[in-house]
Amino acid sequence: MGRPSFRHGAAAVAIGIGLAVTIPVSPLAQGHRRGGSEDVPIFIVPTRAPAAARPASPPDLPREALALVSATLQLQTTRGASGAAVVQTVTRTADRVHVETGAGRELLYMRNPTDVRRVSAMLTDHTARTTVVYDESDLRRVLGIRGWLDVLTLGFDPGRFAELRPVSGTRRAFDLPFEHLEGPGSADGVLEAWWHQGELLPLEVVRRRPESDAPVVVTVVQRSLAVDRQRLALPTTRFPDYRQLDFADWLEGLHER
Amino acid sequence: MTTPSRSVALVVAAALLAGSPLSAGRDDRPGRPALDYKGRRAKNVIFFVGDGMGVSTITATRVYSVGVAGNLVVDQFPHTALSRTYGADAITPDSAPTMTAMMSGVNTNAGVLGLDETTEPLDFNHDGDGRAPWTLLEEAKASGMKVGVISTARITHATPAATYAHINNRDNENAIALQALPGDPTFNDRLGDGIDLLIGGGRQFFVPSTVTDEEGGTGSRSDGRDLRREFQSAGYSYVWNTAGFNALNRASLPVLGLFERGHMEYEYDRPTDSGSEPSLTDMTVKAIELLDGASRKSRKSGGYFLMVESGRIDHAHHEGNAFRALTDTEELDEAIGAAAHMVDLRDTLIIVSADHSHVFNIAGYPLRPKSELPYQVTSNDPGFEAPAGNGILDVVYDLTSGGAVAAAGDRNGVPYTVLGYLNGPGYRGGPRTDPRTDAFPGRGGVVPNGPSHPAYFQESAVPMGSETHAGEEVAIYAVGPGAALVHGTVKNTHIYQVMKAALGLGE
């Protein structure tokens, strides 16, 4: 994603400097009293190439997202055939998702009340007794989360599932039928998925990242309609004595200043 | 030009402040200028700060933005110096003591804002804080000038806060916000009727923790106070998005603009902001229009002082992401250019500097792009046909024997990037691979398609979650009345003295 050559900009600067012999006249400068013949440098603002393609806006939400059934999910992630499984508890509602990440940390994602496509998050680090606030662009940069939809669907982009082809037969789990999709691989490496559009829920996803030969299998192994509302409360309420930092300041604070 | 009444106004203001909490037992009047300056006086001063903008950042931005032989706006400034950044207690500082030094002429300790070197962070020796030197902004305000503060970071963050606050803990931003609020018991009375223009990020410290703000974020104030309303009650115009910002005019002053709950967006990410927010250039242009207009309208006609911080160059470096550091530095250069075109440089001093550097390097012996070479090469790597960012955001291409160009390798023959960090999150941990095909996940878990990708982590030698500041000198650039005082290798406190001497404050 390199930018094109700026040689035309550099040339413009050189030409501009060569021609620059008079005092600049701008609307504000024109209003100033001039001070005789004292020379003042001319500044040439260089011509710069257009910026690289900017990040996209967050994805729109399907109507199912606004009436989602609250549930507690057990999510198992296995790397490779013999890889150790990691199990996480995910509490998912229409406007908040809580993830027990292990290692004394938990994440609370919050749907933006003003623009429901957007999301922010708070990471609670119990060891450091700190809550780290991730705003929308922090999440996009740091975790690759484009918006609230990505959180609801447990990090998978439903749009990528559309790149796979439906395979006959469904799998039932939690009294729900999951559509079977597979293919040569979507742009984000998904090879196979079982998906329920109404619940915006993947039952199982097999993905192979380009950096790894071993596939990663993410499976929802349990689903309960019981929800621990305590987990969905703001960490600032649950842990009022914890220090609260924005992500950028957390990074700076990783060092003793 | 400075007004004859300025020094009188300062004395009067100092006398009126004798009972304020801030001045009690401390500096109840600003000091005299340390520099003997007989030249033309500045009517206005604009001070640009690139947070973390070391010399290597400027060089890399130049190559990226206009090519290695091109000129940024700052390259065209006629007066330059090197600025030593050490703190009173640290070889390598953070932004609090360095901005205190540049704004107050006093070197202090890590984490301390606007208090002298006898002040420990959080007063850990329990011996009380030291004296609170006047800041250039306070002196300017007391002399009848209009004053403004702009930052792409939170407006209560260390760099902007050092212009108007005095506190032993830079992280206590709820308290810092109150020091700018006219009428509050902890208001910094040296600010007179208040800062005329205060715009940037950091809405959370103006909003109660129980309240959702305009963009759906939550506040951080545990005292339940809504400072947006309190600033409005104190006469401020409050804006939070581009529409409100665009509607501002000279009659809008004083202005409080809070465009983001936390820090404002990086320039690269700015178009995706929910409420939309102005660029650093937009804010600079608007501030000059408003402050210049108001200062002319004022009976005192005292000119203005404006501090403009590009606060997120520093954050991008901490993240180990050169791309955003360069694009934010480029935007700062645009803002400087816009300012230089707007003002009359015979009566306005513009100074540009940084608070500290970063462990950010330009490595190897990279060739200039093929089209700039003074000779033909016999063959080259296809990537050398159009190296990313004019070569700065790419791997090192070097000349081999016989006039051929190839990606230069490490001792194992593996190519490496031009830009890198001594430490930070870009540590790979295993055998190095060609950066052009490196599958090391960058920001967001994205696997970049090469080192110019916005998600790319430049490699680092030491594994750290966050890259660090660096302790070498940074540059000072100056133009306008008093700019000739900027030369040699100086302590960063010199910047305060130059601005003060140019304005004739305290004489």
CA–CA distance, A169 with A151 (Å, rounded to integer): 27
What's the mean pLDDT in A63-69? 90
Asked whether the predicted pLDDT for residue A211 surpasses 80, the reply is no
Give residue A216's pLDDT: 86
- Residue of A7, A57, A251 to mutate, interface with B, max B Cβ within 10 Å: A251
- Residue of A38, A136, A243 to mutate, interface with B, max B Cβ within 10 Å: A136
- Are residues B454 and A52 in contact, defined by beta-carbon separation less than 8 angstroms? yes
Is B95 part of the annotated catalytic residue set?
yes
Q: In Å, how far is A86's CA from the nearest CA of chain B?
A: 18
Chain B residues touching A135 at Cβ < 8 A: 217, 260-262
Q: What is the pLDDT of residues B56-105, one digit of tens each?
A: 999 999 999 999 999 999 999 999 999 999 999 999 999 999 999 999 99
Query: Would the CA dihedral through B407, B411, B416, B418 be positive or negative?
Result: negative
- Are residues B56 and B361 in contact, defined by beta-carbon separation less than 8 angstroms? yes
CATH 2.40.30.10 assigned to domain A63-251? The reply is no
Q: Write the residue in B171, B263, B386 that is nearest to A248 by C-beta.
A: B263
- Residue of B210, B215, B348, B467 to mutate, interface with A, max A Cβ within 10 Å: B215
Q: In Å, how far is A165's CA from the nearest CA of chain B?
A: 24
Chain A residues touching B156 at Cβ < 8 A: none
Asked whether the predicted pLDDT for residue A246 surpasses 70, the reply is yes
Give residue B454's pLDDT: 87
Subunit contact A252:B94, Cβ cutoff 8 A? yes
- In chain B, residues 71-130 whose CB comes closer than 8 Å to chain A: 71-73, 76-78, 94, 110-111
CA–CA distance, A121 with A138 (Å, rounded to integer): 9
Return the residue of A nearest to B79 by Cα.
A41
Q: Write the residue in A3, A136, A246 that is nearest to B389 by C-beta.
A: A3
DSSP, collapsed to helix, strand or coil, labels residue B123 as helix
What's the mean pLDDT in B253-281? 94
Task: Give A111-176 as a DSSP string.
Answer: E-SSSTT-EEEEEEETTTTEEEEE-HHHHHHHH---SHHHHHTTT--HHHHTTSEEEEEEEEETTE
Strand ranges in B345-465 using DSSP code E only, listed in sequence order: 348-354, 357-358, 360-362, 379-380, 397-399, 404-407, 419-424, 460-463
H/E element, A8: helix A7-19
Give residue A254's pLDDT: 56
pLDDT band at B25 (very low <50, low <70, confident <90, very high): very low
pLDDT band at B300 (very low <50, low <70, confident <90, very high): low
- In chain B, residues 45-64 whose CB comes closer than 8 Å to chain A: 64
Return the residue of B nearest to A47 by Cα.
B66
- Are residues B80 and B474 in contact, defined by beta-carbon separation less than 8 angstroms? no
Domains delineated in chain B: 6-305+313-339+346-360+493-498 (3.40.720.10), 364-416+426-463 (no CATH)
Strand ranges in B229-362 using DSSP code E only, listed in sequence order: 237-239, 255-258, 304-310, 348-354, 357-358, 360-362
Return the residue of A nearest to B312 by Cα.
A248
Q: Write the residue in B218, B268, B345 that is nearest to A54 by C-beta.
A: B268
Return the residue of A nearest to B262 by Cα.
A246
Domain boundaries, chain A: 1-54, 63-251
CA atoms within 13 A of residue B47's CA, in its CB half-sphere = 31
Spatial strand order in the sheet of B237-239: B237-239, B255-258, B197-201, B146-154, B304-310, B44-50, B348-354, B474-479, B79-84, B489-491
Most confident of A57-61, A79-83, B60-64: B60-64
Q: Which amino acid is at B88?
A: A
Chain A residues touching B340 at Cβ < 8 A: 24, 43
Least trusted range by pLDDT, from A105-109, B18-22, B116-120, B354-358 = B18-22
Subunit contact A143:B312, Cβ cutoff 8 A? no
Q: Write the residue in B70, B315, B337 that is nearest to A10 by C-beta.
A: B70
- In chain B, residues 396-435 whose CB comes closer than 8 Å to chain A: none
Give residue B274's pLDDT: 83
Subunit contact B212:A113, Cβ cutoff 8 A? yes
Chain B residues touching A113 at Cβ < 8 A: 212, 216
- Nearest Cα neighbor of B359 from B48, B49, B50, B55 is B55
- Residues facing residue B409 across a β-bridge: B415
Of B95, B220, B295, B452, the active-site residue reads B95
- Residue of A47, A135, A157, A211 to mutate, interface with B, max B Cβ within 10 Å: A135
pLDDT band at A186 (very low <50, low <70, confident <90, very high): low
Q: What is the pLDDT of residues B426-444, one digit of tens each?
A: 998 888 999 998 877 666 5
Subunit contact A2:B272, Cβ cutoff 8 A? no
Give residue A207's pLDDT: 83
Chain B residues touching A137 at Cβ < 8 A: 265-266, 269, 272-273
Mean pLDDT in chain B?
Answer: 92
Give residue A185's pLDDT: 63
Chain B residues touching A241 at Cβ < 8 A: none
- In chain B, residues 314-353 whose CB comes closer than 8 Å to chain A: 314-315, 318-319, 321, 327, 330, 334, 337-338, 340-347
Q: Write the residue in A38, A57, A236 that is nearest to B209 by C-beta.
A: A236
Q: In Å, how far is A57's CA from the nearest CA of chain B?
A: 6
